[in-house]
Amino acid sequence: MFEIHCPYCNEKRAEIEFSYAGEAHIVRPNAKQQPVMSDEDWSRYMFIRDNIRGEHAERWWHNAGCNMFFNAIRNTVTDKFVMTYKMGSPRRTAKQIDVARETNTADKAKT
């Protein structure tokens, strides 16, 4: 079972308090910006997912805790969380993810 850091509670809690909520940073098409929507574009929004083998940006819901949604970067091969961050903040860059990963390893070495 995972221990997941909730960025709102600022605490590590057991996985059973959380629900997975799919890929993060998927933006719903805006009718004002894109008045005519092709079937292909709608399909991409509805159905196509990155399904990354590696570090994956995803949403989790702390539904048995603070009830907030947040984003996380998790490695789908090792199942290790690299970082979690609040909803609404921008997609993390590869560099930010690298820094977080190194900090985790350094913290682990200390303890």
Binding site for other proteins (CB under 8 A): 1-2, 15-16, 19-20, 39-40, 43-44, 46-51, 53, 56, 58, 74, 76-79
Pairing mode, strands 3-6 and 11-14: antiparallel
- Least distance between other proteins and beta carbon 3 (Å): 11
Whose Cβ is closer to other proteins: residue 16's or residue 109's?
Answer: 16
CA 41 – CA 29 distance, rounded (Å): 9
For the bound state, the minimum distance from the C-beta of residue 21 to other proteins, rounded and expressed in Å, comes to 9
Residue 79 contacts by C-beta under 8 Å, 6 or more apart in sequence? Answer: 2
